[in-house]
Amino acid sequence: MKSIQLDALRMAYLEDGEGPLVVMLHGFPDRPETWSHQVPALVAQGYRVVRPYLRGYPPTQIPQDGYYDKATLVSDIAQFIQAISPGQPCYLVGQDWGAIIGYALLAAHPELVRRAVLMAVPHPGEVAKSILNPRHVHRSFHWWFFQLPNLPEQALAKDNMHFIDYLWQYWTVEGFEDQAHIQSVKELLAQPGALTATLAYYRAMFDASKAAPALAGLRALMDRQIAVPTLALCGAQDMRAELMHDQASYFTGTYVFQLIDNAGHFLHREQPEPVTQAIVKWLGQESGRQI
């Protein structure tokens, strides 16, 4: 466990191995240890693997009255990469919110990333197209529920955070069990201020007043097409997969989409071996080559 001071945030992170840098970004409800199946293989391949705790996820700082809009999250990770790898681009792997941040980071700061693997979440352009589709509204019911004040925190905290169990069960294939990891996620989110901070990501999605005014320029860059070679992975049993097939128009660089069989939203934990193999293969390829 290490930490580093960014402009307005002290960010904690886990670090393993030596060599070219791989930054792995977690989602919600999750924590950096979610990549535990992938780290040993990447270290064995000669990579330095760094897994930050995103803004609001202890022991990373929970800013008092801070911003949690996407541009702020992207700014955090851009600063983080520049601080731990000055002058050298990294490889980026992200799932869920890690992927949401990833798309925007690749568009705004292509100089920071050599190649990327983004999982389980479509490009924001595809998300915008699906926002009125009843199937996808149902799939992402938590987006709307989390807009309410106070009630989501109460629901998430009730009965040993059974809501977290429900989300993992809803988003993974039938029969998948990961209780020790899920319990560790609950323990992180139970720390003072963490629930409200992590829900603030969702509350900032639809409320422009929650966006950092100083980052308007970054926000414009986040809408650019992506030149960084990117592999998108999605569980074959995740409804989001149907939105990720036709994303090539958002990329000027190589874009490859791959389904992972017998997996849902948390594919890197449901099917760790094929996901790890896909990551290692993609990161090891020369720029522009297809799988």
Element (H, E) at 52: strand 48-52
Each residue's pLDDT tens digit, 12-53:
999 999 999 999 999 999 999 999 999 999 999 999 999 999
Task: Return the pLDDT at 290.
Answer: 37
Taking the whole predicted model, whether its pTM rises above 0.85 is answered as yes
In contact, 92 and 229? CB cutoff 8 Å = no
Classify residue 92 as left (phi > 0), alpha (psi -120 to 50) or beta: beta
Task: Return the pLDDT at 291.
Answer: 32
Task: Return the pLDDT at 152.
Answer: 98
Task: Return the pLDDT at 126.
Answer: 94
Q: How far apart are CA 65 and CA 52, in angstroms?
A: 21
Tokens of 145: 């529920």
* 12-23 CB burial, b ≥16 within 10 A, e <16: bbbeebeebbbb
Query: What fold does the segment set 2-283 form as a domain?
Result: Rossmann fold (3.40.50)
Beta strand 90-95 with 48-52 is unpaired
Residues (pLDDT < 70) of the chain are: 286-291
Each residue's pLDDT tens digit, 5-17:
999 899 999 999 9
Location of structure tokens 């070679």: 229
